[in-house]
C-alpha cells in the first residue's frame, strides 16, 4: 500500500521505541507490512479503499468479487473481512 504525505521527506518514529518506522521520499511511502499499514492508515492518505465509507450493498458486491461469504453477516464483520482480504 502506498501512503501519501504533504511533507516531501517525512520521517515517522514509533512512539514506544522511538525508532524510525516509515521514511517518506517525495511525499510517498510504500509498504506491504500489515502491522505498519494498520498503524499508518488512520494518519495518512493512502491508495486503498475506505470500506467504512461504502454502503452495505457496495461492500457485498466487493465481497462477492473477492469470494468472501457475505450471507447473514453484519456490516462491521464484512468490513473486517474485506480489510483482511487486502492484506
Tally of domains within the chain: 2
Is 40 found in the same domain as 6?
yes
Task: Give the per-residue pLDDT at 6.
Answer: 92
pLDDT at 27: 92
Q: What is the pLDDT of residue 54?
A: 81
Burial of 41 (0-12, 13-18, 19+ CB in 10 A): middle
**pLDDT mean for each 10 residues of the chain (87 residues):** 91 93 94 84 83 84 89 88 80
Residues 57 and 26 in one domain: no
For residue 82, the model assigns a pLDDT of 86
CA 70, CA 57: separation in Å to the nearest integer?
A: 10
- Domain residues for 38? 2-46
Instruction: Say yes or no: 41 and 55 in one domain.
Output: no
To 10 degrees, what angle do helices 56-66 and 75-86 make?
40
The pLDDT, as a whole number, for residue 49 is: 75
Amino acid at each position: 500500500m502506498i501512503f501519501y504525505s504533504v511533507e516531501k521527506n517525512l520521517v515517522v518514529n514509533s512512539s514506544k521505541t522511538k525508532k524510525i518506522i516509515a521514511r517518506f521520499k517525495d511525499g510517498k511511502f510504500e509498504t506491504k507490512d500489515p502491522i505498519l499499514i494498520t498503524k499508518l492508515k488512520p494518519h495518512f492518505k493512502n491508495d486503498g479503499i475506505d470500506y467504512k465509507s461504502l454502503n452495505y450493498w457496495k461492500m457485498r458486491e466487493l465481497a462477492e468479487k473477492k469470494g468472501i461469504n457475505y450471507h447473514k453477516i453484519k456490516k462491521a464483520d464484512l468490513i473486517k473481512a474485506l480489510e483482511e482480504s487486502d492484506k
